[in-house]
């Protein structure tokens, strides 16, 4: 009898074809975070019940650029870096579930298929984008991580620029921001293959890092611009008031989450 192997698709006799191996997934990366306040009504409209708006600072948004290298347990992807390196922009808000605070990724873009696939599993709504962020470097014109250093960051999708930021570092900080600081409350949704039959998968899951090994964050200021596009709504989370920006180098591990709710026959 055939026993198909592979953590995700495509499954095969050996499992070698899977778009991503089984967790734990290990990451090294640089995070450039821009926090600001938007109209809380624009956050609320992205929160399906039973999620509720955060009580304190409900309009806070974080737009986070990340430049990653990632691998599964064997680490072999690091030596074939087209399989480990990817870039990401994620847009995070806060919410509450049964009175507890959560972060929630409402939009996200990446530039590799293995990152899309991990997002399906974790409930990140990943599209493809073209993503760039200035890298710190010890020599030449690129910035060091130090006071006054400036980092640029851009996002495009479907051949349109969606967001861009310039961040100026000011000083070391005790935190890397507060918006993306809680466990994530994400949905995993898939419509029924049959029209009009609602959702075949409708789960609310909690996901967070299994461990984090991070450097000292730097805090600074950001100039953030969001642009309209026919199939993107990031600009709807308009910038009302800047909060702060952060630069942080991190190592992290992801190794599974927690099912909060499952509704197998919910109306779509």
Instruction: Tell me if 261 contacts its own copies by CB under 8 A.
Output: no
Smallest separation, CB 57 to its own copies (Å): 19
Give the 3-state secondary structure of residue 268: coil
- Region of 55-63, 69-77, 173-181, 239-247 interacting with its own copies (CB under 8 A): 69-77
Q: How far apart are CA 86 and CA 241, in angstroms?
A: 30
Site track for its own copies across 208-237, x = CB under 8 A? -----xxx--------------xxxx--x-
Q: Encoding tokens for residue 44?
A: 């609320």
User: Shortest gap between Cβ of 144 and its own copies (angstroms)?
Assistant: 10
**Cα separation of the two ends of the chain:** 36
Least separation in angstroms between CB 254 and its own copies: 11
Task: Answer yes or no whether residue 245 interacts with its own copies by CB under 8 A.
Answer: no
Q: How far is CA 156 from CA 35, 56, 177, 227, in A?
A: 19, 32, 24, 10
- Nearest Cα neighbor of 137 from 18, 30, 45 is 30
Options 55-63, 145-153, 171-179, 238-246: segment touching its own copies (CB under 8 A): 145-153
In angstroms, what is the minimal distance from the CB of 189 to its own copies?
7
Residue 181 or residue 212: which is nearer to its own copies going by CB? 212
- Piece of 24-32, 56-64, 171-179, 238-246 that binds its own copies (CB under 8 A): 24-32
Q: Give, in order, the Cα–Cα distances in Å from 231 to each of 3, 84, 127, 191.
A: 41, 28, 11, 20
Closest to 213 in 3D by CA, of 77, 25, 27:
27
Stretch of residues binding its own copies (CB under 8 A), selected from 54-62, 139-147, 170-178, 239-247: 139-147
């Amino acid at each position: 009898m055939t026993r198909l192997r592979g953590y995700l698709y495509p499954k095969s006799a050996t499992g070698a074809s899977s778009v991503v191996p089984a967790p734990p997934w290990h990451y090294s990366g640089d995070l450039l975070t821009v926090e600001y306040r938007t109209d809380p009504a624009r956050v609320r409209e992205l929160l399906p019940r039973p999620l509720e708006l955060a009580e304190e600072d409900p309009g806070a948004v974080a737009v986070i650029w990340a430049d990653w290298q990632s691998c599964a347990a064997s680490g072999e992807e690091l030596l074939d870096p087209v399989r480990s390196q990817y870039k990401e922009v994620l847009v995070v808000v806060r919410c509450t579930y049964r009175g507890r605070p959560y972060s929630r990724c409402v939009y996200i873009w990446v530039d590799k298929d293995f990152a899309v696939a991990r997002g399906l599993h974790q409930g990140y709504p990943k599209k493809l984008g073209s993503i760039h962020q200035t890298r710190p470097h010890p020599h030449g014109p690129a910035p060091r991580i130090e006071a006054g250093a400036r980092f640029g960051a851009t996002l495009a999708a479907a051949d349109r620029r969606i967001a861009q930021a310039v961040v100026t570092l000011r000083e070391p900080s005790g935190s890397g921001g507060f918006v993306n600081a809680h466990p994530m409350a994400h949905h995993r949704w898939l419509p029924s293959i049959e029209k009009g039959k609602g959702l075949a998968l409708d789960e609310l899951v909690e996901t967070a890092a299994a461990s984090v090994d991070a450097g000292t964050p730097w805090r600074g200021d950001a100039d953030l611009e969001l642009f309209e596009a026919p199939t993107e709504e990031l600009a709807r989370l308009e910038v009302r008031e800047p909060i702060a920006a952060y630069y942080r180098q991190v190592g992290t591990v992801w190794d599974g989450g927690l099912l909060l709710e499952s509704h197998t026959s919910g109306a779509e």
